[in-house]
Amino acid sequence: MKQPEREQREPAITPSDSVDISVSQESQGSVAEHSRVRFWLKQALAYGLVTAASASTVLWVTGKEITPTASTAQQPQYQEAQSQEIQFYSTPETPSNLAQTETLIAQGAATGTQRLIGGANFIADAVDRTGPAVVRINSARTVTSRLPAGFDDPFFRDFFGDIGPQSRVERGTGSGFILDANGTIVTNAHVVEGADEVTVTFKDGRELLGEVIGEDSLTDLAVIKVDARELPTVTLGDSDALRPGEWAIAIGNPLGLDNTVTAGIISATGRTSAQIRVPDKRVQFIQTDAAINPGNSGGPLLNERGEVIGVNTAIIGNAQGLGFAIPINRAREIASELVSRGRVDHPYLGIQMLTLTPELKEELETRQEFDAPLQTDSGVVIAAIVQGSPAARSGLRQGDVIQKMNDQTITDANEVQRIVSDTDLGDAIALTLNRNGRTVNLDVRPGPYPVQTGRR
Task: Encode pLDDT of 301-352 as tens digits.
Answer: 999 999 999 999 999 888 889 999 999 999 999 999 999 999 999 999 999 9
What local confidence, expressed as pLDDT, does residue 25 receive? 37
Average pLDDT over residues 368-373: 88
Output 107 or 338, whichever has higher pLDDT: 338
What local confidence, expressed as pLDDT, does residue 316 receive? 87
Instruction: Give me the domains of the chain, ranges plus CATH numbers.
Output: 5-120 (no CATH), 129-226 (2.40.10.10), 239-339 (2.40.10.10), 347-448 (2.30.42.10)
Rounded Cα gap, residues 162 and 170, in angstroms: 25
Catalytic positions are 190, 220, 297
What local confidence, expressed as pLDDT, does residue 36 receive? 52
∠ CA 165-166-170 to the nearest 5 degrees? 135
What local confidence, expressed as pLDDT, does residue 319 receive? 85
Task: Specify the DSSP element, H or E, that contains 16.
Answer: none
- Residue 399 pLDDT > 90: yes
- Paired strand residues for 173: 138
> What's the whole-model pTM score?
0.69
What local confidence, expressed as pLDDT, does residue 107 receive? 58
Measure Cα distances from 152 to 143, 144, 162, 166, 168 in Å.
20, 16, 8, 13, 20
Radius of gyration from C-alpha coordinates of the chain: 30
Average pLDDT over residues 217-228: 96
- Residue 22 pLDDT > 50: no
What local confidence, expressed as pLDDT, does residue 114 receive? 55
Average pLDDT over residues 24-51: 44
Which range among 91-95, 227-231, 321-325, 374-378 shows the weakest confidence by mean pLDDT?
A: 91-95
- Residue 98 pLDDT > 70: no
Name, in order, each residue with C-beta under 8 angstroms of 42's C-beta and a sequence gap of 6 or more.
13, 17, 19
What local confidence, expressed as pLDDT, does residue 205 receive? 92
Q: How many CB atoms lie within 10 A of CB 443?
A: 11
Helix (H, G, I), strand (E, B) or coil at 241: helix
What local confidence, expressed as pLDDT, does residue 135 receive? 97
Measure Cα distances from 433 to 60, 83, 355, 427 in Å.
62, 58, 14, 19
What local confidence, expressed as pLDDT, does residue 110 receive? 59
Measure Cα distances from 36 to 30, 86, 212, 269 in Å.
10, 14, 65, 48
Measure Cα distances from 364 to 356, 381, 439 in Å.
10, 10, 21
* 142 pLDDT tier (thresholds 50, 70, 90): confident
* 384 pLDDT tier (thresholds 50, 70, 90): very high
What local confidence, expressed as pLDDT, does residue 154 receive? 64
Name, in order, each residue with C-beta under 8 angstroms of 434's C-beta and a sequence gap of 6 or more.
374, 375, 376, 379, 400, 401, 403, 440
Q: What is the mean pLDDT of the chain?
A: 78
In terms of Cβ atoms closer than 10 Å to its own Cβ (0-12, 13-18, 19+), residue 309 is buried
- Residue 2 pLDDT > 50: no
